[in-house]
Each structure stands twice: as structure tokens, then as C-alpha cells.
Structure 1
Amino acid sequence: MSAVLGRRARLRWLHLLLGAALLTPFQLLTTTIIDAARLAGTGPSAPLLVQLLGLAMAVPLVAAAGLLLPVLRTLEGGAVRTLGGLRPADAALVRAEPAAGWPARRRTSVWFTVHAVLGGCVAGASLASPPAALGLLLMPWWPAVGRLPWATPAAGRPVVAVAGALLLVAVPVVMSWAAGTLLARLAPALLGPTPADRLAAAERRAARLAERNRLAGELHDAVGHALSAVTIQAGAARTVLGSDPEFAERALGAIEETARSAVAELDRVLGLLREERDGGEAAGPGLEAVPELVARMRAAGASVACALPDGPLPDAVSREAYRIVQEGLGNALRHAGAGAPVAVRVAAEDGEVAVEVRNGPGAGPGSEPRRGPGAGRGLPGVRERAARLGGAVEAGPDGDGGWRLAVRLPLDGGERNGSGERDGRGRP
């Protein structure tokens, strides 16, 4: 009984009345045309014929409105979510934005037509049945009712009158239950996502995942490198604190600079996560920041030789090259220690940028290999950065007990990746 008279059924009845309200302008137009053209003739049955013929003529107009007005999916989707009594899983499928593309418009047109027609029928029954039932119940005390043609079979028969009144009251209730159940089943199919909607949603999810992976790489490369460097620098300073205070002071200064740089990088990436900047590439440091990075490494006692190109590089390539150098230096610190000699070379040649970071075996203070924060994720990140620009990566032992990381990036990699940047100043 609750399925027919409960809260969900009452909400669905209101939803069907909304469909009748949406149908009304169309039926008023068609019935006016019918009356003006006298298409239904005259006689006792003329009003009913006018309404039925008007409904039949209104259906194509309703379907056309659903096809030509994309905003109707917004109206219908919001209404059925609120009043349709849908299961949560079905409600989640219903779209509430304007229909995009003809497949979605055709589905909206079918839904709008079914909703309006069923709503009109239920509304008509809801308006006509209660007065008719009341008339049957009043027959014994109101003789005028007996002169109505439809009430004649119940004249003088109280049992028939009561049964007929109950039946008339039940008609709109059953109609509303059946129509509401049908609409609830049709809603996910007709107002749910089309194949094009599903493809667009999948593309948006893929874009979000790619952005999240990119930001995770930024955090790993920036903050992870800084924490690794601070760990090595602090260990080196502690080792020689008593025997070489000057070196320890330099290491502590390098820790301070590294931490300050890490805070700035963290603030930049968190700003991207908060969407404080509009899309596009993360505006991170480029090769112009490599000398500062190398200086901090040297202050901690690392022996770093660095060679950089004279001219500017495309912004996207310059940023990725900086991150690759940063990761290479971080790997050298983590796995060979601060005492290992490191050579950094970045050169533009034959339409490519060659980035090479080579470290020898550790020696001297702080040379013990360590596995700092983020270990094990750096090389996959380097490969992802190179792949975004169409580059290639080589990494492995160099044969002398050290390690070599070599990356080649095409100079037009930023253009291939959609950034459109050509030089270090961002000019196309």
C-alpha cells in the first residue's frame, strides 16, 4: 500500500502534475485551433473530442520543443531528481545540464513527450474523478444527479453507487503509481549520459588524473629533492661539526637556503592545487635556476661541475631540463653521498637538448649512500617528463662505479606538447 500511497508515490504524483503543467500551453494552442476550425463538430461529446484531438495534435509540438530546446534537459533532470522518487544509483545517472548533441536532444524529446502526456492523463483523471465520485455518493439525496447520463446505471442502487465512487477515486491513484513507476525506470535511459557524454566524462577524468600525476611529480621533484638534500647536508654537518666548523657552517647555510626554496616550491604547487592559476603548465623554475641549485650542493660539500647552454631554450623544455637535473643531483646525493663528484652537462645540439648528470663513487665526508625521501620514484618521473616532450632517457651504471643519467629532449617538445612556447621569454 505504501508503494501506491506513500511519500514516494505522492512525490511522483506532483512530478506528473508538473508534466501536465508543461503540456498545458501546447494543448491550449491546439484546442484553440480546433475550436476556431470547428474540427470536432457539435453535440454533448464535443468538449471531450476537442480535448482528445487537442492532445493528439499537441504531442508533435511537445516532441519538437524537446528536440529544439536543449535547456529542457536541465529542467527535466532537476525535476525528476527531486520528485521522481529515483533510487540513488539512478538519480546519479540523470544529467541536469543542457543537452549537447542531437543524440541527447532526441532522448530529451522522448522523455519530455512521455512526461507531458502521462502527466496530462493523470492530471485529467485527478481533476475529474473526485467530483464524479462525490456525485455518485450524493445520488440518494440529490435527484438531479440521476439525470446525468453516466450516473444512470447507479440510480436507485446504493451499493453500485458506493462501489463506483471508490473505483473512480482509485483510478487516478493507480494511474499515478503506474505512470510514476514507468517514468522512474525511463529516467536513467532517457536523461542519463549518452555515449558521447560518457566519452567526454572519461576524457575529463583522464585529464584530471594526468594533472594530479603532474602535480605529484612537481611535489616529488621539488620537495622530495629538498628533503633529501637537507638530510645529506645535515648528516655531513654533524659528521665534521667538531673537526671542521667552517664546513659545518656552510652546510647549515645550505640547509637554510634549501628549506627556503622548498617552502617556495611547496607554496607554488599548493597554489596550483587550489586552482589559483588558470590551467596550463606549472610556472616552475627553468635552467636559469640550475646555478643556484648547484651552489647549494657545493655549500654542503658536494663536488659539482656544471656546464649549461649559452642561449635561452623554450620554456617548457627549460623547465623539464631543470627538473631532470634536480632529480639527477638528488639521486647522486641519496645513493652516492655528498662526497661523490658530480658532473652536470646541458647542451643544445642538432635540434635537441642533451641533459646528462653523472656521479662517481662516493668519497670524503658524507659519502655514505643514503635512501632519502621519495627514493624509487625519481626515474619513472624523469621518464614521464621526457615522454611528454617526445624525448628519450638512458640511466644506469657508467662502468667506473658511478651512475649516469642521460636525457635527450627535442627543442620543439614544448610545441608538440601544446604549450606553443619557443624561447626563454615566452615569445611564440
Structure 2
Amino acid sequence: MTEQRAPGQWWRHGPPWWSAPDDTEPHRARLPWRSTALFTAFVLIGSHFAAHSEHHRVALNGYARVLLVVASVLLLWRNRYPVAVAFGTATVTLGYLAAGYTYGPVFLTVAVSCYSAVVAGHRRAAWASVGLLWAGHALVALWLYPWLPPAGDKRGNVYQEIGIGAWVLAVVALSELARVRREQWARERADRAQAARRRADEERLRIARELHDVLAHSISVINVQAGMGLALLDSDPEQARAALTTIKAASKEALGEVRQVLDTLRTPGDAPRAPAPGLDRLPELVEQAAAAGLTVEIEGEPPRLPPGAGLAAFRIVQEALTNVVRHSGSRHARVRFTEDGDALRLCIDDDGPATGADAGGSGNGLAGMRERAAALGGTIEAGPRPGGGFRVLAVLPLHPREGQ
């Protein structure tokens, strides 16, 4: 659909300059008094000294000084109304030059207002204002000079007007360069903020994944042992006591790991109090599974992996065994390690059948395993085995890319 513009808005690029300023923004609520006072003093003093060297121009008088002050004071509103100030300074400066007064630094006000308009996004208006000044000056210097002061003024030089046009182009070009730099800085700030948000999201996901894996495994063991303890409480008190002992050990370990994860939130950047679990803790995992009634057979030698890859492999085995305890009728599982070139093939099998019972899980276990593997550049395949049961196959790089 073609954009519809109201009459008189075809030249505008940026926010409407005639609207009331938003005083909630600090940089718009304050007027640039100090810089404007400095510009005013520079223009007045510079024009005073220039008058002594340009004797062929009209001497400075009260009217000339009023025009210089007006052109300078308009810069107070250059941030609030950049378009109006750009045209205002150009008009006042053109009137000053048409009256035949000395040149001096009067063009400084036009340059500052043009810069403010371009940086604010009103590029067409800035070009139009300085173009108006240049065209008006050329008209005065080349055609209207006989009827304007000073008396006996000569016709201007075309090459002089070309030089003034080059000056105008230089002012606008520098303003455009400043605008581009400001936009680049704004994009860089936005990119940094987006990267910080992305890192925060990744950290929240990592913590959620850690908590899920720790709690899902430990609570599954506690759930199985609690059911066993209740069933044997009267008939076999010693076995019930063993179940309660297992519950105590599992809950203590879970609390320790949860505390370690939460400590990273309280003291970001500090080193963890305990090393992250890896495949060296696989025997503990087998013992916990045995306490839940699951016999785990290890095939192959677990390789030595970097901390991040070791943690991912440990959590994948932990989650797979937790799913066997929850969802499988089999009380036997196999964990097999094989190396295939630069990749580790980690396979966890059970013989089934699936119980189909709701074990109270969140349903995020497989998704968490896939995320861990993908973060290392690996893959996860999970599904029923052809001969019955369920298989989880993880392929992880033995030497993950730096930073993983």
C-alpha cells in the first residue's frame, strides 16, 4: 500500500517538528544554555573583529547585532524544534547578509542548526534550509546587489558562489557523517543490550535444565523408595529402613546440587564451590539407580571429556535412567560408550515394556537432552527399539568447539 502523506509533509523525514516537546525525556527538557551562550559570544566577537578588516561592507550597528543575537539565540531550541530553528537561522542570516553587513562567523549558527536537524532525522529540511541560504546569497550577490547596501557594491563572482556552495555541501556532509555515527552507536548499544538479554535467557535456560535434571532424577529415586518403604513398613522393617536411608541420601545430594546451582545466581562470576558432575560420577549414578530397583550395566570405558561435555554426558545418562525408572517396566538398563572418530556415541537401552503410567514428569527431559547435545554440536535420537524397549542415542564431539 502506498504511504499517504498529508499536504505539506512531503519534505519531512523524521518526527513532526511542530508538536509539543516531550518533557519526560531529560535531553529534550533542558535547553542548551551554555553552548548557546558560547556560540553567541563567538559570533558577536568574531563579527566585531571581522568588521575591521572588511571596510567595504556596512559597519556593524545595533540592527546588525540584533540579527546576530537572534540567529544565535534560536539555537536554544535546536533540540526541540530542529526544523524551525534550521529555517529560522538561515532566514535571519540571509537578512543579515542582504543588509550588507560583514560576513564574519555568522554562518556558524546555520552550521549548528543544520547539524541538529540532520542528527534529529530531518535531513531534507536541513538540506532545504542551507540551500535556501545559498540560493538567497547568490541572488543578492549576482542580481540584487545594485539595490541593496553597501552603496557602490560590485557584482559577485560566480566562482565565489561555487565556493560558498562547496562550504554548504561540506557542512551538510559533516552533519550526515555525524548522523551515521550516532546511528551506528545506537545500533551497537542495541546489539549489546540484545546480546545481554540473550545471555540472560541462555543462563536461565541452563539453570532450568540443571534443576530439572537434578530434581527429576532424585525425586524419581525418592518416589520409588518411598513406595517400597510403605509397602514393607510392617512386613520387613529392615528393608523399609534401608529405603528411608536411600531417600535421605538422595534428598541430601539433590539439595547439595540445587544449592550449587542457586549459588551461581547469588554470586554471578564466582567460581562454583564444587566441580560440575561428569562421567567420573557415573558409579554414584549407578548406585542411585540400583537403590531405585534398576540394574545398570556399563559397556565400554567412559572417556575423559572437557567439563562442559562431561556435564552434558552425565546429565543425558541421568535423564535417560530416570525415564527408565519412571516409564519402563524393565528393571535392567545398559549404558554403552563407543568412540567413532572424533565423536562419542552414548547409547542407553532398556528392554521395556513401557508402563504408560503418569510418573509426574514435566515432559521436558528429552527436550533438555537435545538442547545439551545441540549446545556441543551433537545430536540426540530417542525412540522405541525394534525388538522392544526404548533407546536414547547421543552423539557428542570428543573435542567440542571453543566456548562450549
Question: Where does 1:329-340 land on structure 2 (aligned, <5 Å)?
Answer: 329-336=321-328, 340=331
Structure 2 residue 343 is matched with structure 1 residue 352? yes
Q: Is the 8 A contact 1:251 1:301 kept in 2?
A: no
Partner of 2:359: 372
1:193–1:232 distance in 2 versus 1, CA, 3 Å: farther
Alignment RMSD (CA, Å): 4.0
Identity fraction in percent: 30
Secondary structure of 2:383's counterpart equals strand
Q: Is the 8 A contact 2:23 2:29 kept in 1?
A: no
Structure 2 residue 60 is matched with structure 1 residue 25? no
Partner of 1:315: 307
Equivalent residue for 1:60, pick from 111, 118, 130: 111
Aligned amino acid, residue 35 of structure 2: L
Partner of 1:382: 369
1:247–1:277 distance in 2 versus 1, CA, 3 Å: farther
1:219–1:55 distance in 2 versus 1, CA, 3 Å: farther
- Which TM-score applies when normalising by structure 1? 0.57
CA deviation string 1:14-57 (max 9, x = no partner): 95662233322233223222222227723332321442366641
Structure 2 residue 404 is matched with structure 1 residue 392? no
Partner of 2:143: none
Structure 2 residue 399 is matched with structure 1 residue 404? no
C-alpha distance in 2, partners of 1:12/1:393?
Answer: 51
Number of equivalent positions: 290
C-alpha distance in 1, partners of 2:264/2:122?
Answer: 43
Partner of 2:60: 42
Shift of 1:379: 0.8
Q: Is the 8 A contact 1:23 1:62 kept in 2?
A: no
Shift of 1:323: 0.6
C-alpha distance in 2, partners of 1:402/1:12?
Answer: 64
- Which TM-score applies when normalising by structure 2? 0.60
Give 5+ residue unaligned stretches, structure 1: 1-6, 68-105, 115-189, 420-428
Aligned amino acid, residue 42 of structure 1: L
Shift of 1:408: 0.9
Shift of 1:266: 1.4
CA deviation string 1:103-161 (max 9, x = no partner): xxx736979xx9xxxxxxxxxxxxxxxxxxxxxxxxxxxxxxxxxxxxxxxxxxxxxxx
Shift of 1:300: 3.2
C-alpha distance in 2, partners of 1:195/1:301?
Answer: 57
Secondary structure of 1:21's counterpart equals helix
C-alpha distance in 2, partners of 1:60/1:371?
Answer: 74
Greater helix proportion: 1
Higher relative contact order (CA 8 A, sep 6+): 1
Bigger Cα displacement from structure 2, 379-388 vs 208-217: 208-217
C-alpha distance in 1, partners of 2:341/2:239?
Answer: 42
Q: Is the 8 A contact 2:334 2:349 kept in 1?
A: yes
Structure 2 residue 316 is matched with structure 1 residue 324? yes
CA deviation string 1:77-114 (max 9, x = no partner): xxxxxxxxxxxxxxxxxxxxxxxxxxxxx736979xx9
Shift of 1:335: 0.5
